[in-house]
Amino acid sequence: MSPAEFGRSGDREDRHEEPLDDTLLDADLFDSPDLDPPSPRRPVDASAPPLEVADEDLDGLRYDAAGMPVGPRRVLPMPDEPSPLAARYLFPTEKYRGEWRRHWIHLMPEFVIGVAATFIMGYVSGLLARNESSAAMGAVVLGWLLVLGWVGWRVMDWFFDRFILTNKRVMVVSGVVTRKVAMMPLLRVTDMKYEQSPMGRMLNYGTFVLESAGQDQALREIKHLPDPNELYLQVVEEMYEPDAVQARVEGEEETASSPSAVNDA
């Protein structure tokens, strides 16, 4: 017998075929809906309740072909009362719509300068301490304090810097000692846009550009405003649908003053 014939015969002798379990051939088991998915031959039971998915579970999952989220936009809440800083620049018949500080990225240069000045002061003071130069050490510390004072002044200026929206105009109030108030009536705005850099899209801030019919504009470019998309839509809605804005504000006031809302509070 050749080796090839011996291998074939050995395979036939060593092969052990186990009989199939009769339970696997049970027709009722294959007909079970838990194991056999629905098919056109077996219709789905119409009495089964449909699967319900809450809208909260779909937040962040609705995107278009470009990868941008779709769905109803988020409406910025209407504040009740203006701050004392904004109230002094509003006339009695003007309806207040909101005010916003600039994004914290507006202070990034000041923070970088303050941190760099601190590291430089520490390095230079270490060198001067080894040389025992007290006069130069005092000058370095004084310069560092001046830099920190300038950073604090810029932070205070950012705190009092406001973008204000009413039903009549947009305003920018800035300055601590020397106050500057720039405004543009909404009726004179002929074009408005906002721009976002890649960093602005990541941190949610942008630059607004307003165009008007006049040649000299006191208010044209406003940098580092937060929530630019929602703010842009709110300004446009105030320009073209003021009645709808007023109706929404009145509805929010009625809801807040309802007995149920008072009891919940």
* Residue of 180, 17, 172 lying closest to 102 (CA atoms): 172
pLDDT in tens, 203-228: 999 999 988 876 667 788 899 999 99
pLDDT of residue 182: 92
Q: Mean pLDDT score of the chain, rounded to an integer?
A: 76
Helix (H) or strand (E) holding 163: strand 162-166
Which two tokens mark 73?
């936009």
How does DSSP classify residue 214?
A: S
CB 200 within 8 A of CB 181: no
Largest alpha-carbon pair distance within the chain? 115
- Report the C-alpha gap between 223 and 207 in whole angstroms: 4
Question: Which pLDDT score is estimated for 77?
Answer: 59
Mean pLDDT score, 240-247 = 82
pLDDT at 3 over 60: no
What pLDDT score does 249 carry? 74
Residues 13-53 pLDDT 10s: 445 555 545 444 444 444 454 444 555 455 545 565 555 65
Q: Are 101 and 173 in contact (CB under 8 A)?
A: no
Q: What DSSP state is assigned to residue 31?
A: T
pLDDT in tens, 151-164: 999 999 999 999 99
- Three-class DSSP category at 171: strand
Beta-carbon contacts of residue 204 (< 8 Å; ≥ 6 apart)? 103, 226, 227, 228
Please report the pLDDT score of residue 232 as a whole number: 92
pLDDT value for 48: 55
Q: Confidence band (pLDDT; 50, 70, 90) for 138? A: confident
Q: Residue 237 above 80 pLDDT?
A: yes
